[in-house]
Amino acid sequence: MPMISVNGTRLHYEDGGPGGEPVLFSHGLLWNTSLFAPQMASLSDRYRPIAYDHRGQGQSADHDGPEIGMDLLTEDAAALISGLNLGPVHFCGLSMGGFVGMRLAARYPDLVRSLILCDTSAEAEVSENRPRYRLLCALSRWLGPRMIAARVMPIMHGRTALSDPARGAERAFWLAQVAGNRRSIWRAINGVINRAAVIDELPRITAPTLVIVGEEDVATRPEKSERIAKAIAGARLVRIPGAGHSSTVEQPAAVTAAIREFLEDVTAAGERPEGQQVL
């Protein structure tokens, strides 16, 4: 179980191997590195895929205090990249990981070669969602994550994956990921609820950017991804049919194909002689 001490915490990470350009995967709330297992396996033929757990989640160290904020997680990511001597990386973040990725690319451009944002938002949590999410946070804090696992499944996954009779084993695994969180996950939930908008920072992002969104995402609806793509110069937007808020596991083949095509384009653009058009 590889661990690294950075920024006053200990982060768990999985390293897909020493060869190729590094692709760093940053998971969403209530998840862990397994959110990117299909991409880690597929991309290891050409790249060095690395996934890590945020502080307070997965196998990383816990955190004291009332919340785990997005700015702190961004500093963790920057320290991880430096600590593992990775930079610049292709950074891929889903939901919470996307919150981190946008901040990282805007504030630490030298650490990000390209940016992949999946099922995420550059905006603060909408006011109508906050009461429901605060209730889920309180239930998780006092009764444990098992009490909220079934309630969040329709938020985290689309109707196609949730209704497919052939995917019962996958749904059981996804449910277990949420239920298996430690009770202190409420601090991370608070960080997501209370996050600030970063839409004004997006024009500062100069890294080539791919924005991916599941067409059935109800947590960060497709129009949020559309606004991100419009705010980042040259960003590419890909919509994934049949996927909700966890597109990397709901439609892994389609997501992986989009990521691979984008990474190949970024690499090819970087190899062109100076003066030729780039991505």
CATH of the domain at 262: 3.40.50.1820
Its domain, for residue 83, covers 3-124+197-271
Q: Measured in whole angstroms, how far is the alpha carbon of residue 224 from the centre of its chain?
A: 15
HSE, side-chain direction, 13 A CA sphere, residue 219: 26
Strand partners, 92: 25, 116
Q: Alpha-carbon torsion 75, 76, 79, 81, what sign?
A: negative
Q: Quick check: is 169 in a domain? A: no
Q: Quick check: is 163 in a domain? A: no
185 with 145: CB under 8 angstroms?
yes
Helix (H, G, I), strand (E, B) or coil at 238: strand
Q: What is the C-alpha radius of gyration for the chain, rounded to an integer number of angstroms?
A: 18
CA dist., res. 209 & res. 232, Å (int): 8
Q: Quick check: is 141 in a domain? A: no
Q: How many domains does the chain have?
A: 1
| N-term to C-term CA, the chain | 37
For residue range 34-74, list pLDDT tens digits in order: 999 999 999 999 999 999 999 999 999 999 989 999 999 99
Q: Quick check: is 168 in a domain? A: no
106 with 198: CB under 8 angstroms?
yes
For residue range 240-267, list pLDDT tens digits in order: 999 999 999 999 999 999 999 999 999 9
Q: Quick check: is 93 in a domain? A: yes
Give the confidence band of 150 by pLDDT, cuts at 50, 70, 90. Answer: very high
Q: Quick check: is 157 in a domain? A: no
